[in-house]
Amino acid sequence: MRWTPGGQSGDVEDRRGQSYGGGFRGGPASIGVVLVLLVLSLLTGRNFLALLGPGGVETEAPTETNAPPAEESPEEKRLYQFVNFVVDDAQNTWQQVLGNQYRRAKVVVFRGRTATACGVGQSAMGPFYCPTDEKVYVDLGFYDELRRRFGAPGDFAQAYVIAHELGHHVQHLRGIDARVREAQESRPDAANQLSVRLELQADCLAGIWGHSTAQRNILEQGDAEEALNAASAIGDDRIQNQSGRGVQPDSFTHGSSAQRVEWFRRGLESGDLNSCDTFGRGSD
């Protein structure tokens, strides 16, 4: 991609120099009470742990401890700056597409784990969007995994990941994610199917931003292929095959490699919101 390093987005929150902490509220005495009640429960067959109440033993709220700026390699510094560029460019695009309906999200860059309004965010979870605080969370180490484990190198592959998560933000602002959750609660047998449709739509929305970059001559030769390769690399069937479990379509939550490529391509080629109706008739 054509971009100039050095920019700092006001929408990126850098937590790489922070440490995450938490623990039991009440200290060792609370742990001792739990152990005593657990022993009594085992000896008598009665659930003495219920005496603690429905909330059980409370834990301290997650805390973020400020630390000096994180040390970073030249490669990580450039990657961090690239994330800043993508965040600004993608959100500027959505402001143009949605106008006043769009509210800018924050993107949190962290290491290891961090506090979120959706619980503890951990590197092992991969990049994700939390609708409660309207923030995207990403550990830059994921991009090394994307390259090594999934065989999807390239800066536009990295940009696709951020654009996909911002696609979830667009869904949130339009109330799509809330309607999907309601449908999943009323139709638990279709919960996975609905999750797949939501994820494929986020892929298509990422493609709409990709279309915008192509129109502005930001893309370079091979960039589109990098993103399509990344979409294919993280399909549910590909991941299940890598894990040795065998492909189980009923357990898909994000879509197959072919589906993810197809829906990203639709957004990339059309640049049109109407092309991203993964919930409509014939969307399969």
* 88 located within any domain: yes
- Please check whether residues 217 and 235 belong to one and the same domain: yes
Domain edge (last residue) among 60, 85, 106:
60
Asked whether residue 40 falls in the same domain as residue 125, the answer is no
Is residue 8 included in any domain, yes or no?
no
Residue 64 has pLDDT above 70, yes or no: no
Residues 27 and 70 reside in one and the same domain: no
Number of domains in the chain: 2
For residues 50 and 149, the answer to whether their CB atoms sit within 8 Å is no
Q: Please, is 179 exposed, middle or buried when counting C-beta atoms within 10 Å of its C-beta (0-12, 13-18, 19+)?
A: middle
Q: Are residue 45 and residue 85 in the same domain, yes or no?
A: no
Predicted local distance difference test score (pLDDT) of residue 51: 46
pLDDT-derived band at 283, boundaries 50, 70, 90: low
Within-domain flag for 155: yes
* Range with lowest mean pLDDT among 62-66, 123-127, 271-275: 62-66
Rounded CA separation 162/87 (Å) = 7
**Cα–Cα nearest to 275, from 186, 190, 204:** 204
Task: Say if residue 169 is in the same domain as residue 259.
Answer: yes
On the 0-12 / 13-18 / 19+ scale of CB atoms within 10 A, 92 is: middle
Which residues lie across from 65 on neighbouring strands? 19
Report d(CA 267, CA 219) in Å as an integer: 15
Q: By mean pLDDT, which of 15-24, 148-157, 199-208 is the weakest?
A: 15-24
Which of these ranges, 14-23, 59-68, 208-217, has the smallest mean pLDDT?
59-68
Q: What is the pTM of this model?
A: 0.80
The predicted-structure confidence for 216-264, as pLDDT tens digits, reads as follows 999 888 888 888 888 888 888 777 877 777 777 777 888 888 999 999 9
pLDDT of residue 24: 38
Q: Are 114 and 20 in contact (CB under 8 A)?
A: yes
161 pLDDT higher than 60:
yes
Domain that holds residue 222: 65-276
In a domain? residue 94: yes
162 and 234 belong to one structural domain: yes
Are 215 and 255 members of one domain? Answer: yes
Question: Do 181 and 256 fall into the same domain?
Answer: yes
Residue matched to tokens 């830059």:
140
